[in-house]
Amino acid sequence: MSPRLSSSRLSSSFVDLVSDKESQAAACICREPAEGFMIHCCNVDCNLTEFHMKCVKMKEWIPMKVKWYCPLCRPRFKDIVNQWNYEFNRRPDFNMSHEFYHGDEKEDVDIETIEDEIVEEKVEKKIDEKRIVMKISKTIKDGKMSCEILTEKKKENKREEKEGILKRKIYDSFEEDDDKENITEVKKSRKSVQFGKKDVKFFEKEDEDYMKNYLSQEEEDKENMKVYQRKVNEKKKRKRNRGLAGKMYCMS
């Protein structure tokens, strides 16, 4: 495969190749056989067909659906497009109409007719919407607050709400029954337990001992708090005295 060519040599090689009748069958401007990565010119009237990617300074990979034109076709590509448009517009069957088939009949419909149909459809839709609004307002004025035009979603929401209320009522009734059963069981258990005089005295003594311990602990906490407060005050006083002594020393 030949080395890369400069832009000036590239264009001169193209001119030489096109003018040379003997080399019309060559695959590329390098006049070497087609091998490796090749690229095609998208112009159907191009005199050359394939080119080596390196010879035309292209990478070995290009995105799909991207049109590429060789250096000779690029300057006259605009003229090619303009000529094609001119020839296309001169065709006798070129007009702004489309053919539609209804069964076996062929109907010719132009763009203006299609636009009129679209506008007419939009107007009819607006009229239908206005009628619905007027019907709703009339039912409200007559005192019929329950509007007849309800969507399926609203109906479903109401149904779900009713089902939820019903389930809550059933659940609450079950809870009430459970509470009643629990209360009766507690009452029965209380009746079955009987305390004697000795048991009552034992409980009373336990309560007294607990209260004594609690009060003694409270008194002890108060004393500890007083001692702590005294220590804090003494520390503050010492700190204040040191500060005053330092000031007096500086003044002297």
Angle at 49 between CA 48 and CA 51, to 5 degrees: 90
209 vs 125, higher pLDDT? 125
* Residue 22 confidence (pLDDT): 44
What is the per-residue pLDDT across 118-161, written as a single tens digit (0 to 9) for each? 777 777 777 777 777 776 666 655 555 444 555 566 666 777 77
| CATH code for residues 7-89 | 3.30.40.10
pTM score above 0.85? no
- CA–CA separation, 45 and 73 (whole Å): 9
- CA–CA separation, 161 and 86 (whole Å): 70
| Residue (of 115, 123, 39, 37) closest to 73 by Cα position | 39
